[in-house]
Amino acid sequence: MTAPEAGPVRMISTLGIAGLCAGLAVVGIFLATRERIERNRAEALEAAIFRVLDSAARRETLVLRDGRLVPRSEAANGGSGEEALVYAGYDASGRRVGFAIPAQGAGFQDTIALLYGYDPERRRIVGMEVLESRETPGLGDKILKDRAFLANFRDLAVEPRVELVKQEPIRDNQVDAISGATISSAAVVRILNDANARWIERLDEAGASPPSGPPAAAAGSEGAP
């Protein structure tokens, strides 16, 4: 005699138990690695701040609170309104050399997160680095590593706005698109312009005022960004 076939209830139970075990495994792995992932992201951001502001020796985290920039330590004391982070960079003498601005927006595949340096005295972008991107390998992902493309952002005017061109730039506010990755190149430029619209006026005002100056300590010593 042949064994009776397993009933639908038994099959559903087996699948349910397997699904539960798989779900618990995924949650366990996430919880076990979350702290390390967050620490790695914080370290990558810290390093990127000093690359996009290569003359900075120290930095200070500022919070946009009620329309003005204040040190994060002051913001922790209360208040209301809009909050967003930006990083002020200082040289060894305590002179403010610029701001590192986080920004993100939609790319061709997914969200692109980047960080760029801004000099309010010269009104120039002085560096840009892509922090996260899932753009097409071999094409769109060139926004992370194409040296010629990244060189566009070492001394880039923000006025009247950053423009993308498909040729050698002839003006100081133009960026040469990566061949075969125009959409991703355009996404980076769009993200920059959107962030500039939000930040430039505030940072120009902050740049015109005497800096508060971060504590005299090693670079990034105030803790995680």
Q: What does the pLDDT look like over 49-58, one tens digit per residue? A: 999 999 999 9
128 close to 115: Cβ distance less than 8 angstroms: yes
Average pLDDT value for residue range 105-133: 94
Cα within 13 Å of Cα(197), Cβ side: 8
**What average pLDDT does this structure show over 212-222?**
51
The predicted pLDDT at position 32 comes to: 65
How far apart are alpha carbons 158 and 57 in whole angstroms?
Answer: 25
Question: Using 50, 70 and 90 to split pLDDT, how confident is the model at 38?
Answer: confident
Scan for tokens 């922090």, then name that residue: 131
Residue 218 pLDDT class (50, 70, 90 cuts)? very low
Instruction: For the full predicted model, state whether its pTM sits above 0.85.
Output: no
Q: What is the pLDDT of residue 196?
A: 96
Burial 85-107 (b: 16+ CB within 10 A, else e): ebbbbbeeeeebbbbbbbbbbeb
Supply the pLDDT for residue 202.
Answer: 87
Weakest-pLDDT range from 70-79, 142-151, 205-214: 205-214
Local structure of 167: helix, strand or coil: coil
112-124: average pLDDT: 95
Predicted local confidence at residue 58, as pLDDT:
95
- More confident call, 205 vs 174: 174
CB 106 within 8 A of CB 187: yes
